[in-house]
Amino acid sequence: MTVANTVEGASVTARKTGFRHVVTSIRGDGWASAGIITIAVFILAAIFAPLLTAIPGQNPYTYHLGLLDDSGAPKGWGGGISATHWFGVEPLTGRDLFAIVVYGARTSLLVGVSATILSVLIGVLVGITTGFFGGWYDRVMSRVVDVMFGFPVLVFLIALTAIVPSSIPRPLFMIVVIGLFGWPAISRVVRGQVLSLRERNFVVASTAMGARPGHVLFTQVLPNVTATIIVYATIMVPSMIGFEAALSFLGVGVPPPTPSWGRTIGDAVGWVQTSPMYLVFPGLALLLITLAFNVFGDGLRDALDPKAVRR
Amino acid sequence: MSDEPAPTVLSVDEVSISFAGQGGPERPVVDRVSFDLHAGRVLALVGESGSGKSVTAMSVLGLLPGTATVSGSIRLDGGELIGADAARLRQVRGGQIGTIFQEPMNAFNPVYTIGWQIAEAIRSHDPRTARAEVEARVAELLSAAGIRDVARVRRAHPHELSGGQLQRAMIAMAICSNPVALIADEPTTALDVTVQAGILDLIRRLRDEHGTAVLLITHDMGVVADLADDVVVMRDGRVVERADAATLFARPQAAYTKALLAAVPTLDTLEAPAGRVAPRPAEDAEPAAEVRGACIVYGASGWGRRSLTAVEDVSFHIEAGCTLGLVGESGSGKSTVGRALAGLVPLRAGAVRIGGVDLTTVSARGLRAVRKRIGYVFQDPASSLNPRLTIGQAIAEPLRLHTDASAAGRRTRVDELLDAVRLDRDFAGRFQHELSGGQRQRVAIARAIALNPTLLIADEPTSALDVSVQASILELIRRLQDELGFACLFISHDLAVVQALVDDVVVMRRGRIVEAGPAEQVLTAPRQPYTQRLLAAAPVADPVQQRLRRDEWRALNTADDDVEIVT
Amino acid sequence: MRMLRFILFRLLGMVIVLLVVATVSYAIFYLLPTNPAQLSCGKPCTPENLQRAKEFMGTASPWWQQLWNFLTGIVAGRSFGSGDAAIVCSAPCFGYSFQQNASVTELILSRFPVTASIAGGAAVLWLITGVAGGVISALRRGSALDRGVMTVAIAGVSTPSYLVGLLAILLFGFTLQWLPTGGYVPLTEDPGQWFLHLILPWCTLAFISAAIYARLTRGQMIEVMGEDYIRTARAKGLREPRVVVTHGLRNALIPVVTIFGLDLGALLGGTVIAEKVFSMQGLGAMLIDAVHSLDLQLVVGFTLFAAFLIVFANFVVDLVYGFVDPRVKVGA
């Protein structure tokens, strides 16, 4: 009800929120474009990891003890950077750091994206049904969400790794558990949106016309929620990636020899002084992918939000 | 009245306002507007949405957003206000010019009590006042503003009070430092008609007893006729006409003013209304819609939550081809009844029959079949259309739900419907945000009649529209009814609008029917005191007539308008 | 009177939630694994430990009795074994570590000050800087300052805390040598050193969370400052600082309060990470060690304790929210 509202002219200019408009908006937003390009680079690097590492002829598993000095630190500048070892080598093992970083992208992206997909699927399902149908089902689920929200997730995850039998592959276990802790956040946001949409006249009109609840959900409610879901999913991926990295950092994540940025950073703690590049390369990779997703998610939200101030 | 002109309190001279990024100085929102405010006189700034009246008023106190550029001169007591420094503006705001706004519920801070907020206003202009003095002054102000239960109101938070009480509290806050002028920005638009009359009376007393100059911003010509001494008509940021109230209503000069006055639905109180001649069907025919002893209760679930009886023992029927006006103020339950007729709300007791089918006992499939015959038009056109669907898709939805028509068949029908509501056929590809309010409402009507319903339920279809657009929408509904012959339930709070359209009237208050009967009888010679008060309170766009009605209203007014919300 | 009902309701809710959490934890950690006694025993598993574990688990009794003993033990303490070798685990009994021969409660209490110092100081720091940053950004919206703060904020949100911590150690600890590189000094021993050792962990944890709160506060402030009652406050003639703080911030902070409550769980997680990065022997380090040595009692006991802490903290936040926002339906 601010004065600015009354200034609207009689002709309302069209504000497209279709796909084409989103693409134009993102392209116009410098940060967001950089974000999506970075994401694409990382995804390609992860998919084509074997090809990429074949260029210098390396892989993340082979030990190169000859490149280390007596204390285990890599010889040469920057942790052993050379034409064949683009990022240098790992202390104590001599494994190629470039290969570790590239293959580590696989772990991070696999766990991060899969966990997000799992969270989104469950969260959207719960959010839409509780928001739309309400009743005791909604009340019970809300309490469950409340509890899960406040739960010390990291602590619980660490504890769970103690009892999980080793027959279950660790990445799968991580995806399932991280995903299971992520859905409350999305469900709450979706539920809130559905609650407010439910009272909007066009939803009521649809019911008044004789549409079944399922039809109303799909045709009227869902299209108005998809924007939120997409934005939220995009912003959730970096959190999931971060979770996996944190667990690996603490030593309770993906077990060796599978490369993981988090575990490498964890190992780098003791080498910060002597071989700082051991920390910098995986750290930078993690920072870049997280930043890229966050920035892209922000740009996406601005593009899809009809109320956003156009720059 | 003395012949000497009252002293000028505020002088607005050639003021132009433009906003950066919205056309800039080439397209000013307000274009060289001038007027003078005199002590003891009410100046009404009238216009429809987009006329720039609110922006002009806000510029007086420097309350516009930072992107605004203001040129011209605004002088208060000789001192220039445009470009004045912050300290001077602060002194003027609340100290010399008080302000009241449109939505009293949003204008108060929700986390502080009313008493605290008024005390804050008092202290901001007189910081050294003792605590006891401030408390006494708060009580005095609230009482002077017509609040009965001062102790409760001052301790209450905004969400615990009604709109009328809040507006009175806001007036109390605005006059706390005895300002020379009061700016009232649409002060009664959000209020019920009976409450409105009380607020207007209060403002009138301020003018008469304290000599306060009042700048009244409104779009309601009835309010202007009731309160204003002078009128300035604005359109698209320019002054179109200025005159004293009597002259403006009796002899409007500008074409726009004439059109505006003509578009206002008038309440004919003296003669029988020139309404439609409704076709009265055979005596024993089944009514198109019937409500019998309906009782609707909200929030009756467990956990000790208190329930609210929205509708109690309501009965009426609508014959085919006729229109029933359901009239009431907020909280009367009229909208709830409308929803019950569409089967959207369950009944605690009673029955609702559409064309003989009882909605309370019918199966789910039966309900879907009945819904084919009902069309619903909502109050807010912006929210009744899905923002993600095109107009064509929205109109075609009932066709998709209930007919087997192919895509081509649907498109043909959509074109027919767009023609029927006088919209261009290429609107079918647009989205709702590209249309104006009136156009959206036409689309909503097109959707409602898509399946040739036997009953059209229109829930305040014109309340959110400008006056000039209202008339055309009402005319559209009337024409469609003549062509298609559906029965119509017309829900409204505006008696004048209702009178133009309906055959029978049902008046509701707090969930119960107060009076019912043919329109000519209920609207010209009501029997119940509440209906009489309702009629008397509705302002009419004619100052001479309005003065008579005001006396009538005062005579009738014994009830309190401090209606309390059930908490 | 309404406030009393409100408190009672919330208290009841809290107790129910705690009950559910305890039961679920018990089910996951004690009932699911095939040989809980073996797991509880720890590594290395001596025969005495195994025996004690079996007695503690009471694996001979049916599962509901085990559960009952477990739950009552939390409230009233329990003992197991017999005669001279009986071990008493006083209330509240979250479990007993056979490896370290001490009750979980004792072990937690011994390490609690470390974790509390890190968490408490970080929380205060991030609230203040986050809110201040958000408010400044909101008031100077669109300016270079706003964009600068938001850029730093988004970088903060994206960077894992341990990375920031390690880089900070590298810079401030090794290169500039301004601050110690790790370790904890108790407050009672040397307040000055206690403070110096905690600066880096505080800043590390606060950096990320402050970023989140800055973005949140900024969004809330922008929304609130566009509300009608802000315009009324200005029209009353109030000074701008008062309008911003007493009317604006007071409303903008309401959702921040609830989110802070939800973030307490994350705070605990962050502290665990900080302890590893800065080599502090707090509860987090204890947990990691327990996982590696498979001391299930300690692992489960600590998890339960953490969950209880969070639930209780959320209860307090709920109460505060009821005070802070009068629109909340008290008693609903």
Report pLDDT digits (tens) over B83-103: 888 888 999 998 899 999 988
pLDDT at residue B266 tops 90: no
CB contact under 8 A, A207 and B55: no
Residue C155 touches partner A, C-beta closer than 8 Å: yes
Which stretch of A9-13, A90-94, C318-322 has the lowest confidence by average pLDDT?
A: A9-13
B328 and B241, same structural domain? no
CATH number 3.30.1490.20 given to C105-324: no
Using an 8 Å CB-CB cutoff, list chain A residues near C13. 143
Residue C15 touches partner A, C-beta closer than 8 Å: no
Instruction: Give the total number of structural domains in chain B.
Output: 2
Residue spans of the domains in chain A: they are 21-304
CB contact under 8 A, C238 and B124: yes
Which stretch of A2-6, A265-269, C6-10 has the lowest confidence by average pLDDT?
A: A2-6
pLDDT at residue A172 tops 60: yes
CB contact under 8 A, B436 and A224: no
CATH code assigned at B78: 3.40.50.300
Name the domain boundary from B262, B292, B312. Answer: B262
Tell me how far apart the terminal alpha carbons of chain A are, to the nearest angstrom: 22
Which stretch of A55-64, A236-245, B195-204 has the lowest confidence by average pLDDT?
A: A55-64
B332 and B190, same structural domain? no
pLDDT digits (tens, 9 = 90+) for A140-163: 888 888 778 767 778 888 888 777
C39, C31 Cβ separation under 8 angstroms: no
B324 and B218, same structural domain? no
pLDDT at residue B561 tops 50: no
- Structural domain includes residue B366: yes
Q: Which chains touch C (3 or more CB pairs under 8 A)?
A: A, B
Amino acid A6: pLDDT: 26
* The two three-digit tokens of residue B422, written as one number: 């006088």
Other CB atoms within 10 Å distance of the CB of residue B381: 26
B335 and B249, same structural domain? no
C residues 269-298 closer than 8 Å to B (CB): none
CB contact under 8 A, B120 and C250: no
Tell me how far apart the terminal alpha carbons of chain B are, to the nearest angstrom: 48
CB contact under 8 A, B388 and A306: no
CB contact under 8 A, B378 and A205: yes
pLDDT tier for residue B1 given thresholds of 50, 70 and 90 = very low
- Element of type H or E holding B181: strand B181-185
Three state DSSP letters for B498-544:
HHHHCCEEEEEECCEEEEEEEHHHHHHCCCCHHHHHHHHHCCCCCHH
- List the single residue in B with minimal CA-CA distance to A215: B401
Question: Pick from B63, B86, B111: which is nearest to C235 by CB?
Answer: B63
Tell me how far apart the terminal alpha carbons of chain C are, to the nearest angstrom: 13
CB contact under 8 A, A159 and C272: no
B433: DSSP letter: G
CA dihedral A188, A194, A199, A204 (to 10 degrees): -160
Exposure pattern of C195-225 as b/e (b: 16+ CB <10 Å)? eebbbbbbbbbbbbbbbbbbbbbbebbbebb
- Structural domain includes residue B197: yes
Positive/negative CA dihedral, A136, A139, A141, A143? negative
Under DSSP, is residue B421 helix (H, G, I), strand (E, B) or coil? Answer: coil
Question: What mean pLDDT do residues B403-426 have?
Answer: 90
Mean pLDDT estimate for chain C: 80
Using an 8 Å CB-CB cutoff, list chain A residues near B343. 208
pLDDT tier for residue A311 given thresholds of 50, 70 and 90 = very low
If interface means Cβ-Cβ distance under 8 Å, which residues of chain B face chain C?
61, 63, 86, 90-95, 99, 101, 103, 106-111, 120-121, 124-125, 157, 159, 170, 173, 305
Amino acid C160: pLDDT: 80
* B333 phi/psi in degrees, rounded to 5: 95, 5
CB contact under 8 A, A210 and B49: no
Which stretch of A5-14, C63-72, C117-126 has the lowest confidence by average pLDDT?
A: A5-14
Which residues touch C11 (CB under 8 Å, ≥6 apart)?
C315
Amino acid A8: pLDDT: 26
Amino acid C48: pLDDT: 75
CB contact under 8 A, C231 and B108: no
Mean pLDDT estimate for chain B: 86
Question: Pick from B29, B371, B430: which is nearest to A210 by CB?
Answer: B371
CA distance B368 to chain C (A): 36
Question: What mean pLDDT do residues A294-305 have?
Answer: 80
Using an 8 Å CB-CB cutoff, list chain A residues near C28. 160, 163
Beta bridge partners of B477: none
Q: Which chains touch A (3 or more CB pairs under 8 A)?
A: B, C
Angle between helices B437-448 and B407-420 (to 10 degrees): 120
CB contact under 8 A, A223 and B389: yes
CA distance B234 to chain C (A): 24
CA distance C226 to chain B (A): 10
The Cα C274–Cα A270 span in angstroms is: 15
Question: Pick from C232, C238, C326: which is nearest to B107 by CB?
Answer: C232
Residue C296 touches partner A, C-beta closer than 8 Å: yes
pTM of the model: 0.79
Q: Which one of A31, A269, A301 would you mutate to disrupt binding with C, by most C Cβ within 10 Å of its Cβ?
A: A269
Question: Pick from A150, A238, A246: which is nearest to C311 by CB?
Answer: A150
Q: Which one of B370, B371, B386, B457 would you mutate to disrupt binding with A, by most A Cβ within 10 Å of its Cβ?
A: B386
CATH number 1.10.760.10 given to A21-304: no
Residue C5 touches partner B, C-beta closer than 8 Å: no
Amino acid B173: pLDDT: 94
Query: Residue A251 — left, alpha, or beta (φ > 0 → left; ψ -120 to 50 → alpha)?
Result: left
The Cα B496–Cα B537 span in angstroms is: 12
Residue spans of the domains in chain C: they are 33-93, 105-324
Range of the domain at B53: 8-96+179-262
Using an 8 Å CB-CB cutoff, list chain B residues near A13. 434
The Cα B313–Cα B296 span in angstroms is: 9
CB contact under 8 A, A306 and B374: no
Strands B504-509 and B323-328 come out as parallel
Question: What mean pLDDT do residues B133-155 have?
Answer: 91
Amino acid A126: pLDDT: 92
* The two three-digit tokens of residue B46, written as one number: 């009238």
Which stretch of B3-17, B365-379, C258-272 has the lowest confidence by average pLDDT?
A: C258-272
CB contact under 8 A, A163 and C296: yes
The Cα B267–Cα B245 span in angstroms is: 19
Which stretch of B260-264, C283-287, C292-296 has the lowest confidence by average pLDDT?
A: C292-296
Using an 8 Å CB-CB cutoff, list chain B residues near C220. none
B242 and B374, same structural domain? no
CB contact under 8 A, A162 and C154: no
pLDDT digits (tens, 9 = 90+) for B471-518: 889 889 999 999 998 999 999 988 888 887 889 999 999 899 999 999
- Structural domain includes residue B432: yes
The Cα A173–Cα A171 span in angstroms is: 5
CB contact under 8 A, B111 and C231: no
Angle between helices A170-198 and A153-163 (to 10 degrees): 140
pLDDT digits (tens, 9 = 90+) for B205-241: 999 999 999 999 998 888 999 999 999 999 988 999 9
CA distance A216 to chain B (A): 11
Beta bridge partners of B98: B182
Which stretch of B509-523, C12-26, C58-72 has the lowest confidence by average pLDDT?
A: C58-72
β strands within chain A, DSSP E: none
Residue C185 touches partner A, C-beta closer than 8 Å: no
Amino acid C40: pLDDT: 65
More confident residue, C76 or C240: C240
CB contact under 8 A, C231 and A150: no
